């Protein structure tokens, strides 16, 4: 059965390529399974049954950076971890996005000391910052929806 039969009498839908591709991209973001500290607990509960991230097309946490589009930096990044994080980011295929989840990933949080990177934006470019220590799952979902909005408005010339 082809698409014509499925759509029935709807006729023809016209749109721009930009919109169609952005729509597809924004609704099937696969995040990387990657938690660094306490914030990761909230990320796990965001995916679990109560908050259910799969409503937004994100139920597949990939354990490999090569299959993921989104890196949720959930927790504080130590200086020893920083090269590893950058390495994972470099292994992700384009297009890719980064969410800095929590105060530690956004700006260092309470850990203004020698061991912690003062904001993960020093190592990778960040698209959305989610505030909170830790952010509640609703906050993370809000951040993810902000990212979806951002992807939907990405102009064609910025596609990678």
Partner 1 sequence: MGANELTQALREALGDGIADVVVFRDEVTLNVPRERVIEVLTHLRDVQQFNMLTDETCVDYYPREPRFGILYQLYSIPRNIRVRVKVMLSEYDASLPTATGLYRNANWLEREIYDLFGIRFEGHPDLRRILLPPDWQGHPLRKEVPVTVEENAFTFNRERVDAEKPYATE
Near ligand SF4 by CB under 6 A: residue from 31, 35, 65, 102: 102
- Determine phi and psi for 105, rounding to 5 degrees: -70, -30
Which residues share a beta bridge with 74?
35, 101
Told to check if 39 binds ligand SF4 by CB under 6 A, we report yes
Which residues share a beta bridge with 31?
70
Tokens read off for 109 = 């949080």
Of residues 54 and 83, the one with the C-beta less far from partner 1: 83
Tell me how many residues contact ligand SF4 (CB under 6 A): 11
Told to check if 109 binds ligand SF4 by CB under 6 A, we report yes
Enumerate residues 6+ apart whose C-beta is below 8 A from 114.
79
Q: Smallest distance, Å, CB 97 to ligand SF4?
A: 19
- Pick from partner 1, ligand SF4, none: which does 121 bind, CB < 5 to 8 A by kind? partner 1
Q: Smallest distance, Å, CB 40 to partner 1?
A: 21
Of 141, 135, 143, 145, nearest to 42 by C-alpha is 135
Told to check if 96 binds ligand SF4 by CB under 6 A, we report no
Enumerate residues 6+ apart whose C-beta is below 8 A from 24.
none
Told to check if 21 binds ligand SF4 by CB under 6 A, we report no
Of 158, 91, 86, nearest to 117 by C-alpha is 86
- Pick from partner 1, ligand SF4, none: which does 35 bind, CB < 5 to 8 A by kind? none
**List of residues contacting partner 1 (CB under 8 A):** 79-80, 107-108, 112-115, 118-119, 121-125
Tokens read off for 105 = 């990933």
């Amino acid at each position: 059965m082809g698409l014509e039969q499925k759509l029935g009498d709807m006729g023809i839908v016209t749109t721009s390529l930009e919109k169609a591709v952005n729509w597809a991209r924004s609704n099937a973001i696969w995040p990387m399974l990657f938690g660094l500290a306490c914030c990761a607990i909230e990320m796990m509960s965001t995916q679990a049954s109560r908050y259910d991230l799969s409503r937004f097309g994100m139920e597949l946490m990939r354990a490999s950076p090569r299959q993921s589009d989104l890196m949720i930096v959930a927790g504080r990044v130590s200086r020893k971890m920083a090269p590893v994080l950058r390495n994972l980011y470099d292994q992700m295929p384009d297009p890719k996005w980064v969410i800095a989840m929590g105060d530690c990933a956004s700006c260092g949080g309470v850990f203004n000391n020698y061991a912690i990177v003062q904001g993960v934006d020093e190592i990778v470019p960040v698209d959305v910052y989610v505030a909170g220590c830790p952010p509640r799952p609703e906050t993370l979902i809000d951040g993810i929806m902000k990212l979806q909005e951002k992807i939907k408005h990405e102009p064609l010339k910025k596609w990678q």
